[in-house]
Structure 1
């Protein structure tokens, strides 16, 4: 499988393990000028490192992600993308509630994010599945049982 970069970054490969460094204040999020509850307009960003391969047809992709959370919205993610304004990702994130949670973000011109369940610890499995034109995200604590 050949992988490519959108927003190249530092990468370390060791066996099946891949570590990608994300620069500070990098993300994928399209707010289109929407104002949050706090009266703040979050910045639209598409500057996070994205290491990807092109896949056709049905597939399942699983990754175990881990993170040394430091700042709000720090995350490790698995992402699918049609183009820069049409994409979706499942994240393991430090939320604005100061919890570690599985979060989904779906973007069709504007991003819509939803916090899922809180997860103890600094690692979780994330999975994306495609069947036909349908995509789903799942998470797992143990890598065997997905929700």
Structure 2
């Protein structure tokens, strides 16, 4: 993991060791902007670094999601109004894979996760004004989760995120951080 990672909304309890980060979420933390609920929140935890241009960011995530809206995964942002978060989020009585894109207002797309949600991988590739989001249940097969337009300039912050809107105390472990040149594979290449 690069040494220039920093906290946005630093949690009270966390520990970094080489290429892993363990976090316990603070009480009632969240990321959302207006849509449907009418509120704006930017209190979740982000551990990220600044990047310029195109890149691929990948990480392995371990957590035990049990309460409504428990979530952890990855995030890319330029400010509190322009960001994308993605990972596992607990809703409708089960952990689901999903993403939220906020370009002034948030959207939310969610679906069934095809594995055990206590261990998963996330990958985000930026190519110009486009984002390619992938996930994996085994670290080998990488289905496409989302392609999104993200027209926010050259510089952004990318890293990991976690939050618990209904409680505190979710223990999350992030491992195998990887930030590299962008993977320029075909859109439906699952490797």
Question: Shared fold by TM > 0.5?
Answer: yes
2:112 corresponding residue in structure 1: 117
Q: Partner of 1:51 in structure 2?
A: 47
Q: CA deviation at 1:58?
A: 1.3
Which one of 61, 81, 94 corresponds to residue 77 of structure 2?
81
| Aligned partner of 2:100 among 69, 84, 105 | 105
TM-score, scaled relative to structure 1:
0.87
Corresponding residue number in structure 2 for 1:142: 138
Q: 2:61 aligns with which of 65, 80, 102?
A: 65
Q: 1:3 to 1:23 in 2, by over 3 A?
A: same
Shift of 1:42: 6.0
Quote the residue 1:7 is aligned against: 9
Instruction: Tell whether the 8 Å contact from 1:100 to 1:119 is kept in structure 2 after alignment.
Output: no
Does the residue aligned with 2:29 lie in a helix, a strand or coil?
A: coil
**d(CA) in 2 for partners of 1:19, 1:123:** 14
Given the alignment, which residue of 87, 92, 107 partners 1:91? 87
In structure 1, how many angstroms separate the alpha carbons of the residues matched to 2:39 and 2:136? 31
Deviations 1:77-121 (A, max 9, x none): 2000011101001121111x2121111100011110000332432
TM-score (norm 2): 0.68
Deviation of 1:43 (Å): 3.9
CA RMSD of aligned residues (A): 1.5
2:31 is the counterpart of 1:28 = yes
- Any idea what the Cα deviations from partners look like across 1:37-72, whole Å, max 9, x if unmatched? xxxx36421001111100112111111112122311
